């Protein structure tokens, strides 16, 4: 799975759109580069990891995050504002009996600011179609074997709604600081394709 990446047609369309916009004088290449740099500035899974660590150590923050993530994000200095409109963020919590995994069938609804740039396999047609049809098999290919009685829910991001997984806190991490806990969290854990 991790080596597959079939979004070449999408990349070609993006390049065509960029060329048309620059040829029409709507935007310059420098402006496109600046917009991309601004979008990626601070985009890191470290942001999502900070949110998770705060939720693990602060039950009140965890409750607020699960109830209304957009309202809770400013507590850690983050927001979903940007672009034309604010995107709605929903945080879904993994438990002993429920596991969540994310997909974006349109490949444009990934919360870069919280999870960092998306991995190539996240954009692949194989991942996008199979994780919806057979999530347990796809997770097993990533090395995540879940008990047979674990309910798996697949969340499909959209232009209006983004998702982030709140992974289960690893056992034996009591007493660790937020920074130490955040260091345990990976982008894959925030997507739901790995445990922390």
Catalytic positions, written as ranges: 104, 107-109
The tokens describing 101, both together, are 């995994």
Helix or strand (DSSP H, E) at 152: strand 151-156
3-state secondary structure of 90: strand
Q: Looking up tokens 């991790």, which residue turns up?
A: 2
3-state secondary structure of 109: coil
Alpha-carbon 64 to chain mean position: 19
The tokens describing 19, both together, are 């060329």
Question: How far is the CA of 63 from the CAs of 57, 69, 140, 174, in angstroms?
Answer: 12, 9, 30, 19
Q: Looking up tokens 């580069």, which residue turns up?
A: 33
């Amino acid at each position: 799975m991790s080596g597959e990446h079939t979004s070449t047609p999408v990349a070609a369309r993006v390049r065509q759109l960029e060329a048309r916009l620059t040829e029409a004088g709507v935007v310059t290449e420098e402006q496109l580069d600046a917009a991309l740099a601004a979008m990626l500035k601070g985009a890191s899974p470290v942001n999502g990891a900070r949110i998770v660590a705060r939720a693990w150590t602060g039950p009140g923050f965890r409750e607020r995050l699960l109830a209304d993530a957009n309202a809770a994000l400013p507590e850690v200095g983050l927001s979903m504002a940007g672009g034309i409109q604010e995107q709605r963020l929903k945080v879904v919590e993994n438990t002993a009996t429920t596991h969540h995994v994310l997909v974006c069938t349109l490949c444009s609804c990934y919360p870069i600011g919280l999870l960092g740039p998306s991995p190539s396999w996240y954009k692949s047609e194989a991942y996008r179609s199979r994780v919806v049809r057979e999530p347990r098999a796809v997770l097993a290919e990533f090395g995540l074997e879940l008990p047979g009685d674990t309910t798996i829910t697949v969340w499909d991001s959209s232009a209006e709604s983004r998702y982030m997984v709140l992974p289960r806190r690893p056992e034996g991490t009591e007493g660790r600081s937020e920074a130490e806990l955040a260091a345990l969290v990976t982008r894959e854990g925030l997507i739901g394709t790995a445990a922390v």
